[in-house]
Structure 1
């Protein structure tokens, strides 16, 4: 599939640039869109392109979501003040405005992914090979859900669709929309299991059903739908890996842009930017997993940004376990006993038993704790377990941390949207 990746990637990345203000995402010199979306081959190219868009360096959703959350939550430290978009985020507050290219890339590429995914979701059901169509729909659903989720984590409102002068929906509606996309994928897969032929045409790494369940659990938690979050989390097989894979042609974006250059960002400090009661235990083995000892700076990135071909997980087993812990603590009838049990699965987990090598290997937390006492501990261990995953800003809001501990709460809308859509909401105060 490297032929698909290279060709589709360049076409789509160019489209992002030339279409940023139009939101129609057309390429007049390219193949006829109707031809592309009426064949299995054409739609295969589109869904492979969705993955490429998501992980493609400075334009990709992944790198920009990690950067946005990392800078404003103090996970990462700016290494070069000449990087103006990064400097704005690192400074925070009013320094972040609609000109910020990192936010613009995150916004534009997410909407591009939604647009392309919709083309597949609308046309794949017409294919004669329903098992192959099922794979196309499920794969496209993963990336549409991710795009909706990332937009909803950063902005108070998100576009209701793609096109000219679109209306906006609340961020909670955005999370629920992502869940709806995932539910549709499960219904399609139940009716027609994905064919082996489709799987063989995809880049290796992504476990489709487990990823869909993990994302459903994540976004149900963010939307406050605790029964749904627990059910989805319980459906994830924690022994199975689901990763973005990289090689000599497609680089790990964190390594390529930050780790290898030392010119963009590095960890804030050995405590991962955490302070007070949230500082990691000196014996916590997740800290040496995510960081390495250097000279300038002393603390350097490791973990999932350590190498050019290091795979990046779409979710960690620890995230799923901590979702269960949080649900037990927050649900209508709190269950602090089960919340602590799930939390201790992460606290005591050995690196050798985690499929990605992420493990604290600490003694269990003991005592009869109330939900109010357990929730701050869940937050602390999410910060450490899920370091630089792009999820911390959402966590800070959900766990009620004061605005003074972060540099932004939500982000202003990019001028590429505001200048072309009169329905763009007012920017948040902070």
Structure 2
């Protein structure tokens, strides 16, 4: 029965989601589809909309998830381009002025993020009108996850992000964008605290995402990015590390990294065993995470291939990793001048075995007894984040936060899509690099 219900909801999602409008000037009407009033006036229609949000975020080459991982990976040297015919990827790998407002992947990424915010707002507003507050609570929390991620995903690449959706929207600083994402999450946490999510909602959406833990994990991530270390630590402490939260895939809804890159060996692959780190920070060759995230092809180039969370059609991709949460704790303590606790949590990741991790991500390295200096401690936290969170789309933000040399990345921030600039006079000036 659950599978049948989900198929019905997925059909509703396909009817309710209109994709790829190309600016913040939103006009998402389509005369061939159900009207917004029809879709967003019932629990069934609203459920179809949130399932649609997940599909747009996770499925295919145009998805936010694929572009987040790939744009980030090429910009930070995690990935290389296999086929020079992939123009957009080649431009990212070269960086600098070759990445401009016409860049197709950035335009798609910008559009899907803004579309998710637009649809999530509709779900959150209309869910409040439902009589079943427990079902509404699930809708609001689920939509809030994708709204918060989409706002923060833009804040990771652009200097300023839209304050909302509509005609000629204004922009806010990227750090304020992270804070806006946190506010969305806080509202969702309050909502599900007052009205527990109903089991009927959980059974109506795809399995994989643990809503409560995901909200706290994302709050910890974005609080860290905003420099709110006390808040980030509290949110990290609220996450149960043994519980997985994943984007799930199957034979019909394929893992986008496997579908586009791994299976074809024609787009991108990992750079090498350094995982994109400079030699001074590269992982030890005995670090178990190298073989988790990469495999070796001894006969056909390139030698290093995608493994880990891109190694199969149905391989789930984590929304967050337990190791990320532990490293957030280590960094929060370090930034608060508590080196003792910082070292404890940092070594918890360094010594973690694959068997001790819900996803099998384990370095299995000896503990570091002394870091020598505060700067060295931060360098090690950065290093461990880059290894533990390889191909998660988080590295560019870390490079800026840890003040890594700009020579280690291809761009610092991205130019705004020309289609946005052409339709919105409030679009900010492009950053120089």
TM-score normalised according to structure 2 size: 0.96
Q: Contact 1:347–1:364 at 8 Å: present in 2 too?
A: yes
Q: Contact 1:9–1:52 at 8 Å: present in 2 too?
A: no
Q: Which residue of 1 aligns with 2:206?
A: 203
Runs of 5+ unmatched residues, structure 1: none
Deviation at 1:421, TM superposition (A): 0.2
Q: Which residue of 2 aligns with 1:339?
A: 342
More displaced, 22-31 or 33-42?
22-31
Deviation at 1:18, TM superposition (A): 5.1
Deviation sequence 1:141-180 (CA, Å, 0-9, x none): 1000100110000000000111110000110111000000
Partner-residue secondary structure (3-state), 2:269: strand
Q: Which residue of 2 aligns with 1:237?
A: 240
Deviation at 1:82, TM superposition (A): 1.0
Q: Which residue of 2 aligns with 1:183?
A: 186
Q: Which residue of 1 aligns with 2:114?
A: 111
Deviation sequence 1:282-326 (CA, Å, 0-9, x none): 110000000001132111110000000000000000000000000
Deviation at 1:356, TM superposition (A): 0.2
Partner-residue secondary structure (3-state), 1:48: helix
Q: Contact 1:152–1:171 at 8 Å: present in 2 too?
A: yes
Q: Does 1:379 align with 2:379?
A: no
Q: Does 1:173 align with 2:176?
A: yes
Q: Does 1:328 align with 2:333?
A: yes
Q: Which residue of 2 aligns with 1:50?
A: 53
More displaced, 38-47 or 15-24?
15-24
In structure 1, C-alpha distance between the alignment counterparts of 2:30 and 2:194, rounded to whole Å = 35
Deviation sequence 1:312-355 (CA, Å, 0-9, x none): 00000000000000010112xx1001000000000000000100
Q: Which residue of 1 aligns with 2:63?
A: 60
TM-score normalised according to structure 1 size: 0.97
Deviation at 1:20, TM superposition (A): 5.0
In structure 2, C-alpha distance between the alignment counterparts of 1:162 and 1:221, rounded to whole Å = 26
In structure 2, C-alpha distance between the alignment counterparts of 1:388 and 1:9, rounded to whole Å = 29
In structure 1, C-alpha distance between the alignment counterparts of 2:169 and 2:32, rounded to whole Å = 26
Deviation at 1:24, TM superposition (A): 2.2
Deviation sequence 1:248-306 (CA, Å, 0-9, x none): 11000000000000110000112112222211111100000000011321111100000
**Stretches (4+) displaced over 3 A:** 17-22
RMSD, aligned CA: 1.2
Q: Does 1:306 align with 2:341?
A: no
Runs of 5+ unmatched residues, structure 2: 1-5
Q: Which residue of 1 aligns with 2:320?
A: 315
Deviation at 1:90, TM superposition (A): 0.7
Deviation at 1:57, TM superposition (A): 1.3
| Alignment partner of 2:88 out of 66, 85, 89 | 85
Deviation at 1:357, TM superposition (A): 0.2
Deviation at 1:2, TM superposition (A): 3.1
More displaced, 28-37 or 345-354?
28-37
Q: Contact 1:349–1:362 at 8 Å: present in 2 too?
A: yes
Aligned length: 426
More displaced, 26-35 or 38-47?
26-35
| Alignment partner of 1:390 out of 390, 393, 407 | 393
Partner-residue secondary structure (3-state), 2:97: helix
Q: Contact 1:4–1:49 at 8 Å: present in 2 too?
A: no
Q: Which residue of 2 aligns with 1:148?
A: 151
Q: Contact 2:77–2:271 at 8 Å: present in 1 too?
A: yes
Q: Contact 2:16–2:39 at 8 Å: present in 1 too?
A: no
Deviation sequence 1:237-257 (CA, Å, 0-9, x none): 000000011111100000000
Deviation sequence 1:74-112 (CA, Å, 0-9, x none): 000001111111111011000000111110111000000
